[in-house]
Chains A and B, each alone.
Chain A
Amino acid sequence: MNKNYFEIIRAGINSTFQDLGRNNLYHIGIPFSGAMDNRNYLLANKLTGNNDNDPVIEFAYQGPNLKYHGDKINIAITGDVSFKIKKGDNLIDGECYQSLILENDDELDILSTNKSVYGYLAISGKFDLKFQWSSCSTNTKAKIGSNNGEKLSDNQKITIKEINNNFVNRKLNYVNTKIENIRVIKGTNFNYFSEEGKKIFFKNEFKVSKLSDRMGMRLEGKKIENIVDTNIRSEGLIKGVIQVPADGNPIIMLSDHGTIGGYPKIGVVVSADYDKLVQLTPGSKVKFQEVDLSSAETLFKLYDLETQNLISQI
């Protein structure tokens, strides 16, 4: 039976199962979800020899402390993460972006995502998970996805139904860089804002607020004045949309965002900058920089090429 499992000594702040997310459900109100930082998610799976869409554990700020029970297994951690592995009396500092081996009774303690938000733990094999709409991605607000739509909790067991016995030894030299300028395409309600408001949006600094999670990132800064209407007819949203409600502070829609919204859209973050955007911790300062559609498409091509290039180095 399931003799291989993790015992959760400490679950961490927001540890959830994630994969590439689910499609074609916006019309009933179910968002895309999936790993927030797509690149680091893909790299974790590649380092463990998994498929692109295999479930991983995503953690935020403080990750889980896990005790492993079972046969030898390959794992990998990606992101800007500090962690330790306890093997008997030996405490080893863990290194990201390399395949590691866990044995029976080893303890994996994921301490911190340092100056970022999200990190990823992949195992070489398969977690024993229930899928919903063909994805394990956990949306804790809607209670959708694996683990009954809940984040991991203390003292819980994570069972592993399959271990890949082709042990790999893979490593990647990669350092996550931080973003300060977020590139944005003007939104469909850009002209709802005063000239001064538009200037503030593209010139001033904004601070990432504590009220940020997988649904959205709230920003604080100089108020962006609306001169037309602080509401629009509710309409569809996509991740990366920047809405400005009446209080003048922008909110960026992230992977678990509401599928419909009624605040004016001042801009949309380009796809190329999304992975780095989600890694901004509360208190970080950001600026928005305008680009047009064709530049955004080129930026995405470059970003995707860079990701593919990293994957091919593993």
Chain B
Amino acid sequence: MIKNISNLGDAALYCDFGKEVNKDINTQVIKYFKTIQKKNIAGVNNITPSYNKLIISFDLKKINFNKLKKAIDNLEIIKGDSIQNKRFEIPVCCEKEFSLDIKRLEEKLKMKEEKIYESFFEKEFFCYMTGFIAGMPFLGDLDENLRAKRLDTPRVKVPKGSIGLTEQFANIYTFESPGGWNIIGNTPLNIFDSTKEKEPNLINPGDLVTFKRISKEKYQNYHE
């Protein structure tokens, strides 16, 4: 349930579901998201679910914080609609040219490169949300020993296909973008396709993802 609603600037509601991050809380967030989406409240521009927050931005010409807060406070959550799980295996090449931050991680985590990869490729991940850039999946949870902070200054350009780690999560840069995650490899797979207006994202919240290490040769000759 929402623990607190505050304003984010003058044109957004910040709904806080608490500090913890787990599948149950995330599922609550998604339920609110789906309910509000179906309600079609006049003036609401965007609803952004994340691990444990929901941000609702609106057109200040049509509605304001207090009115929208009242509407959300009185909302009845739609039941059912369980989230479907699809499974994906994402090929990743970890050659030097792709693993931009592996040395930083070795240092921060005090672990050898091979151990980091071993632990990463063993894991099955849950997709909590998509966003930042179009189609980027936020996947959890990394083992405790792989959790590092973002770069102190985000990169201006992270290459398309980069696999990044930060805290308990992994992500995939669906195209070149600025970003501050620790980059450990690159996938040749296309994760976002803007020509598909209905389903542009390969991976969606609730899906399960594993990563498979591939050679540089395989990477270069990869065909979807």
Chain A residues at the B interface, C-beta cutoff of 8 Å: 23-30, 32, 132-133, 141-144, 149, 185, 187-188, 211, 215-216, 230-231, 233-238, 240-241, 245-247, 249, 258-263, 265, 268-271, 293, 296-297, 300, 304
Given the complex of chains A and B, what is the CA–CA distance between A141 and B135 in angstroms?
A: 13
Chain B residues at the A interface, C-beta cutoff of 8 Å: 6-12, 14, 21, 33, 37, 45-55, 57, 60-61, 64-65, 129-136, 138, 149-150, 152-154, 156, 166-167, 169, 174-178, 180, 192, 194, 197, 200-201
Beta-carbon contact of A241 and B9 below 8 Å: yes
Beta-carbon contact of B55 and A238 below 8 Å: yes
Beta-carbon contact of B152 and A246 below 8 Å: yes
Given the complex of chains A and B, what is the CA–CA distance between A238 and B135 in angstroms?
A: 17
CB-contact partner of B9 in A142, A149, A240, under 8 A = A240
Given the complex of chains A and B, what is the CA–CA distance between A234 and B136 in angstroms?
A: 12
Known: A133-B197, A235-B53. A29 touches B130 (CB 8 A): yes
Residues of A within 8 A of B53 (CB): 233, 235-236
Beta-carbon contact of A259 and B180 below 8 Å: no
Q: Measured between C-beta atoms, what is the minimum distance from B204 to chain A in Å?
A: 8
Beta-carbon contact of B21 and A233 below 8 Å: yes
CB-contact partner of B175 in A141, A185, A240, A247, under 8 A = A141
Can you pick out 5 interface pairs between chain A and chain B where the beta carbons lie within 8 Å of each other? A26-B131, A30-B200, A235-B50, A246-B152, A259-B131
Given the complex of chains A and B, what is the CA–CA distance between A241 and B14 in angstroms?
A: 12
CB-contact partner of A268 in B9, B46, B201, under 8 A = B9
Beta-carbon contact of B133 and A29 below 8 Å: yes
Beta-carbon contact of A27 and B47 below 8 Å: yes
Beta-carbon contact of B60 and A271 below 8 Å: yes
Given the complex of chains A and B, what is the CA–CA distance between A211 and B51 in angstroms?
A: 30
Given the complex of chains A and B, what is the CA–CA distance between A235 and B154 in angstroms?
A: 17
Given the complex of chains A and B, what is the CA–CA distance between A205 and B33 in angstroms?
A: 39
Residues of A within 8 A of B21 (CB): 233
- Secondary structure call for the A interface: loop
Across the interface, name the chain B residue whose C-beta is closest to A295. Answer: B10
Beta-carbon contact of A188 and B138 below 8 Å: no
Beta-carbon contact of B10 and A233 below 8 Å: no
Beta-carbon contact of B201 and A235 below 8 Å: no
Residues of B within 8 A of A29 (CB): 130-136, 174, 192, 201
Given the complex of chains A and B, what is the CA–CA distance between A253 and B138 in angstroms?
A: 20
Across the interface, name the chain B residue whose C-beta is closest to A142. Answer: B134
Given the complex of chains A and B, what is the CA–CA distance between A238 and B59 in angstroms?
A: 12
Across the interface, name the chain B residue whose C-beta is closest to A242. Answer: B9
Residues of A within 8 A of B134 (CB): 28-30, 142, 144
Beta-carbon contact of A211 and B133 below 8 Å: no
Beta-carbon contact of A28 and B201 below 8 Å: yes
Beta-carbon contact of A233 and B52 below 8 Å: yes
Known: A27-B131, A258-B133. A238 touches B11 (CB 8 A): yes
Sample of 5 more A-B contacts, CB < 8 Å, known A132-B194, A233-B50, A234-B50: A26-B47, A27-B129, A238-B46, A240-B9, A271-B11
Cβ-closest 4 pairs across A and B: A268-B9, A236-B48, A236-B55, A296-B10
